[in-house]
């Protein structure tokens, strides 16, 4: 027992109970629970739509304020700490942790949904509809979304590297506001809600990735993509990769996988960019960025309030897309934020915020700009109708049909499938690492291996069990659960923002003193160095 004295057993057990409480009814009373979840989904996306969009915008403005305001220069670490990872590795790691296989799915195909059902009551397939089709995906994976990711990273990195508190859990970041309640049931509920949200978000990811990878394997080998054993095999393979990578630890496992994936991704993107319609891709991507810039606040706030009145059609576009996306980013955010915090030692608040927003957005823009616009070009040039496959078959079938249009398409599909599996793994190995951290009182260097392994398997065995028991339906339910499990996070995020501001303003004098002393020291070392340098020509 002594061996695991750093375990926070109450949180661990509470998380397990909540898990079982969600999963067991799903398995035992499938129809009733599916109805309840659908109702909840309707309630959350419709009633709380304003709250979701508002919190997204508030977080974005908050991050910009922090980056450019008086606190931006604070270094997350001791004053002479240097960044632990070089910027390229740092950007690659944060991108791989935050982005999973879903970008391969939506990056290729999101435009096709908007092309036929555009926002702002634009007529389908018109020039305007095409403009928004190419742009909206980038917006949903853009600066606002990444600022949702970076927010929790800041208070956690602050606690870890400035205050030397080795606890990586979200309730701890709420301490300035919650005070002594942090260590009571309230803190535990916050941690469990975060764990719950992450498991919901993971369900969405697995629900999308498994059929997509299965479809790829099916195109390559001819096996039936709907076969249950194939989907189970894919889940198992990703679990084993991420369990292994999680087991070997952050520096070796996760970093290596992230590096491999960055290269594979570059090869895939460069290949499509070169053999595909290069000029079309460049023009459309740049124009899309312009459109997003122009319409940023419109996109961030549009909730279609008049739909259904005065014969105005109710498309539910914002509810089915923007609200869903913000919810999805929110449930992943504490986990990715905790991970970003772990790798950001020695960087300033400004660097972390702007780095995450800029590198994250750039990375996503590459996927949407190259893969998505390749598909769009196939459609517009009449080479191949993607939307027809989407309507008549499925999303994964449409994705593979786009890739099949490439020269040497089999190689492209192999790289695509491999990348998807590794992305799934990097998301989950960082996930299990963070979940393990959340269920320990403290971490000694890294969370316990058994704890990391446990979460690695828990993350995928739940959807796996559901897959075996009831085929695809339960995964659809878990997708919806991800949106629902995001709702409590809106409140947690407000607490987080207020808490962090409180911490910064109460530490302000100490921080200013620290940076003054550091500058003085630096000046002294510099003058000694110059003095030495000066002597060489004497």
Interface residues toward ligand NM2, by CB under 6 A = 98-103, 205, 328-329, 332, 427
For the residues of 37-58, what is the DSSP string, one character each?
A: HHHHHHHHHHHSHHHHHHHHHH
Q: How far is the CB of 445 from ligand NM2 (least distance, A)?
A: 27
Residues facing residue 444 across a β-bridge: 446
Residue 101 vs 485, nearer CB to ligand NM2: 101
Say how far apart CA 372 and CA 377 lie, in whole Å.
Answer: 9
CA dist list (Å): 369 to 98, 214, 259 = 19, 25, 22
Q: Which residue in this structure is represented by tokens 């996503």?
A: 364
Residue 102 vs 171, nearer CB to ligand NM2: 102
Q: Report the 3 state secondary structure along 201-260.
A: HHHHHHHHHHHHHHHHHHHHHCCCCCCHHHHHHHHHHHHHHHHHHHHHCHHHHHHHHHHH
Residue 315 vs 361, nearer CB to ligand NM2: 361
Residue 315 vs 427, nearer CB to ligand NM2: 427
Alpha helix (H) residue ranges in 439-472? 449-470
Residue 348 vs 474, nearer CB to ligand NM2: 474
Q: How far is the CB of 104 from ligand NM2 (least distance, A)?
A: 8
Q: How far is the CB of 536 from ligand NM2 (least distance, A)?
A: 54
Q: How far is the CB of 102 from ligand NM2 (least distance, A)?
A: 3
Q: Which residue number is nearest to ligand NM2 in terms of Cβ? A: 100
CA dist list (Å): 500 to 350, 406, 497 = 15, 49, 5
Residue 332 vs 374, nearer CB to ligand NM2: 332
Residue 217 vs 364, nearer CB to ligand NM2: 364
Say how far apart CA 444 and CA 166 lie, in whole Å.
Answer: 8
Say how far apart CA 489 and CA 458 lie, in whole Å.
Answer: 22
Residue 83 vs 98, nearer CB to ligand NM2: 98
CA dist list (Å): 347 to 173, 351, 360 = 19, 6, 17
Q: How far is the CB of 4 from ligand NM2 (least distance, A)?
A: 30
Considering Cα of 456, then 461, then 462, then 463, what sign does the dihedral take?
positive
Q: How far is the CB of 482 from ligand NM2 (least distance, A)?
A: 9
CB burial of 153-174 (b: ≥16 within 10 Å; e: otherwise) equals bbbbbbbbbbeeeebbbbbbbb
Residue 111 vs 328, nearer CB to ligand NM2: 328
CA dist list (Å): 119 to 126, 149, 454 = 12, 25, 43
Q: How far is the CB of 328 from ligand NM2 (least distance, A)?
A: 5
Residues facing residue 348 across a β-bridge: 75
Cβ–Cβ under 8 Å, residues 143 and 134: no
Q: How far is the CB of 209 from ligand NM2 (least distance, A)?
A: 7
Say how far apart CA 412 and CA 128 lie, in whole Å.
Answer: 31
How many of the other CB atoms lie within 10 Å of CB of 370?
23
Q: How far is the CB of 90 from ligand NM2 (least distance, A)?
A: 18
Give Cβ neighbours of residue 32 (< 8 Å, ≥ 6 apart): 25
Q: How far is the CB of 457 from ligand NM2 (least distance, A)?
A: 18
Residue 329 vs 433, nearer CB to ligand NM2: 329
Six-digit token string for 490: 């809106």
């Amino acid at each position: 027992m002594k061996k695991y004295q750093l375990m926070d057993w109450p949180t661990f057990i509470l998380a397990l109970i909540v898990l079982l409480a969600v999963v067991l009814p799903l398995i035992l009373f499938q129809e009733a629970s599916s109805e309840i979840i659908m109702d909840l989904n309707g309630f959350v996306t419709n009633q709380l739509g304003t709250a979701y969009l508002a919190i997204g915008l508030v977080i974005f403005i908050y991050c910009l304020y922090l980056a450019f305001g008086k606190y931006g220069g604070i270094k997350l670490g001791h004053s002479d700490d240097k960044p632990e990872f070089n910027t390229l590795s740092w950007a690659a790691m944060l991108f791989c942790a935050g982005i999973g296989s879903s970008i391969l799915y939506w990056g290729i195909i999101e435009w096709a949904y908007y092309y036929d059902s555009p926002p702002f009551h634009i007529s389908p397939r018109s020039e305007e509809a095409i403009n928004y089709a190419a742009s909206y995906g980038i917006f949903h994976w853009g600066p606002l979304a990444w600022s949702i990711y970076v927010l929790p990273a800041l208070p956690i990195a602050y606690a870890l590297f400035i205050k030397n508190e080795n606890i990586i859990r979200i309730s701890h970041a709420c301490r300035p506001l919650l005070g002594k309640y942090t260590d009571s049931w309230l803190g535990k509920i916050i941690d469990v809600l975060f764990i719950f949200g992450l498991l919901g978000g993971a369900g969405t990811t697995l629900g999308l990735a498994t059929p997509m990878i299965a479809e790829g394997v099916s195109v390559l080998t001819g096996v039936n993509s709907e076969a249950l054993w194939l989907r189970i095999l894919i889940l198992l393979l990703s679990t084993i990769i991420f369990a292994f990578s999680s087991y070997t630890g952050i520096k070796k496992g996760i970093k290596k996988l992230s590096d491999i994936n960055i290269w594979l991704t570059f090869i895939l993107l460069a290949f499509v960019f070169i053999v595909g319609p290069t000029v079309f891709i460049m023009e459309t991507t740049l124009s899309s960025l312009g459109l997003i810039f122009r319409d940023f606040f419109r996109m961030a706030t549009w909730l279609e309030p008049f739909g259904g009145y005065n014969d105005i059609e109710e498309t539910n576009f914002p509810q089915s897309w923007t609200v869903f996306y913000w919810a999805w980013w929110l449930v992943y955010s504490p986990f990715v934020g905790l991970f970003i915090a772990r790798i950001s030692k020695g960087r300033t608040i400004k660097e972390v915020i702007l780095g995450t927003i800029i590198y994250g957005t750039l990375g996503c823009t590459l996927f949407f700009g190259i893969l998505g616009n390749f598909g769009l070009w196939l459609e517009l040039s009449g080479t191949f109708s993607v939307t027809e496959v989407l309507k008549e078959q499925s999303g994964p079938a449409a994705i593979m049909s786009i890739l099949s249009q490439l020269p040497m398409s089999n190689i492209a599909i192999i790289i695509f499938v491999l990348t998807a599996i590794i992305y799934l793994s990097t998301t989950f190995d960082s996930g299990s690492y963070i979940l393990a951290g959340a269920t320990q009182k403290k971490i000694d260097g890294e969370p316990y291996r058994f704890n990391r392994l446990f979460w690695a398997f828990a993350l995928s065995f739940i959807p796996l069990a559901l897959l075996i028991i009831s085929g695809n339906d339960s995964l659809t339910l878990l997708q919806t659960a991800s949106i629902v499990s995001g709702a409590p996070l809106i409140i947690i995020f407000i607490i987080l923002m207020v808490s962090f501001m409180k911490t910064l303003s109460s530490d302000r004098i100490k921080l200013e003193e620290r940076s003054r002393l550091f500058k003085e020291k630096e000046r002294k070392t510099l003058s000694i160095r110059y003095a030495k340098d000066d002597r060489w020509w004497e």
